[in-house]
């Protein structure tokens, strides 16, 4: 089982021969069907994507294109019906529930449109949460969480609850939470969807800073100007990759 291989280099060696050795995300003919009241909807019809270390990729597409399904799949929240998926060398498509939970904890940092912070917990505690499930001791936990909050510029808001923070600050807490475990990818689903345009610019600037320090980022959005912050854009249509191109090429 690939998940049991702790050495990253060892795992990477097991990737298909034709993909680069620094590929973080590799999907092969990824398929997913839903049964919508008797009618079968084919949300993904064979998606092939390779995302390499330190890429900043935007996944785009209209609603119904399969972009949310792909995001759930990349985020290890859902398992494919067909095809294969490797994340940082783990062959995720074959893992059980609890192993997926461990992968989510170690390899993925989620940023959601609706922030999804625990309302009763302070910013610090929210950021600590992934470390709690990683089994890290409380002293180390708060040190790492404080560090992550300082990285997103919220060092002075650590003990506030979400309802005492602005939308932009809440999303920064969520980003700090996503970063705290040093994940191999930051997976952001419409991160600016609930923010005004000025705040959106700030958040996208933060993503670019993180990217500049070596963070791999996957951004799911339907807004072109947000996607333009990414180096590369993958457009989905009807459950398949329609276009995959470098952002500079279109400018």
Partner 1 sequence: MLVGETVAVAFQSIRANKLRSMLTMLGIIIGVGAVITMVALGSGAQKAVEDQIANLGANTFTIFPGQSFRGGVAQGNRVSLTTDDYLAIRRDARLIKAVVPELQSNLQVKYGNQNVNSPIVGTTANFVEVRNYTVPFGRSFRQGDDESRQRYAVLGADVPDQLGVNAAAMIGQQLLVRGIPFEIIGVLSRKGSAGSWQNPDEQIFIPLQTAQFRVLGTDRVRSISVQVADGVPIEQGMVDLERVLRREHRIRPGQENDFQIRNPQDILATRQEATQTFTILLASIAAVSLFVGGIGIMNIMLVSVTERTREIGIRKALGATRLNIMAQFLIEALALCLVGGVLGILFGSGMAIVLAKFMQWNTLISMPAIIVAFAFSAFVGLFFGIWPARRAASLDPIVALRYE
Of positions 33, 78, 147, 244, contacts partner 1 by CB under 8 A = 78
Of positions 42, 102, 161, 237, contacts partner 1 by CB under 8 A = 102
Of positions 97, 163, 197, 198, contacts partner 1 by CB under 8 A = 97
Are residues 103 and 95 in contact, defined by beta-carbon separation less than 8 angstroms?
yes
Tokens representing 164 are 């005492």
Nearest 10 degrees: CA dihedral of 203, 208, 210, 214?
160
Strand partners, 40: 35
Of 8-16, 41-49, 52-60, 125-133, which part binds partner 1 (CB under 8 A)?
Answer: 125-133
- As measured in angstroms, the least distance from the Cβ of 133 to partner 1 is 4
Q: Does 134 bind partner 1 (CB under 8 A)?
A: yes
Q: Does 118 bind partner 1 (CB under 8 A)?
A: yes
- As measured in angstroms, the least distance from the Cβ of 114 to partner 1 is 9
Burial 118-131 (b: 16+ CB within 10 A, else e): eeeebbbbbbbbbb
186-245 binders of partner 1 (CB under 8 A): none
Q: Does 101 bind partner 1 (CB under 8 A)?
A: yes
Query: Using CB under 8 A as the criterion, which residues of the chain lie in contact with partner 1 when the complex forms?
Result: 72, 75, 77-78, 97-98, 101-102, 104-106, 110, 112, 116-118, 120, 129-130, 132-135, 138, 177
């Amino acid at each position: 089982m690939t998940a049991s291989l702790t050495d990253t280099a060892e795992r990477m060696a097991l990737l298909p021969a034709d993909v680069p050795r620094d590929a973080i995300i590799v999907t092969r003919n990824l398929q997913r069907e839903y049964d919508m009241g008797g009618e079968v909807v084919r949300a993904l019809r064979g998606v092939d994507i390779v995302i390499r270390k330190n890429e900043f990729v935007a996944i785009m597409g209209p609603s119904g294109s399969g972009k949310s399904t792909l995001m759930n799949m990349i985020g290890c929240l859902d398992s494919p019906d067909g095809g294969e998926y490797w994340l940082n060398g783990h062959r995720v498509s074959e893992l059980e529930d609890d192993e997926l939970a461990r992968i989510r904890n170690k390899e993925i940092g989620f940023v959601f449109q609706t922030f999804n912070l625990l309302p009763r917990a302070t910013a610090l505690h929210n950021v600590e949460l992934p470390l709690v499930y990683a089994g890290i001791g409380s002293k180390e936990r708060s040190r790492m969480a404080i560090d992550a909050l300082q990285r997103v510029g919220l060092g002075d808001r650590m003990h506030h609850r979400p309802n005492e923070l602005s939308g932009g600050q809440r999303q920064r807490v969520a980003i700090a939470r996503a970063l705290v475990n040093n994940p191999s990818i930051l997976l952001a689903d419409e991160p600016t969807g609930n923010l005004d345009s000025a705040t959106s610019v700030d958040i996208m600037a933060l993503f670019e800073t993180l990217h500049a320090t070596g963070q791999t980022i996957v951004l799911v959005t339907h807004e072109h100007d947000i996607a333009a912050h990414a180096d590369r854009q993958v457009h989905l249509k009807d459950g398949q990759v329609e276009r995959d191109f470098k952002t500079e090429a279109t400018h």
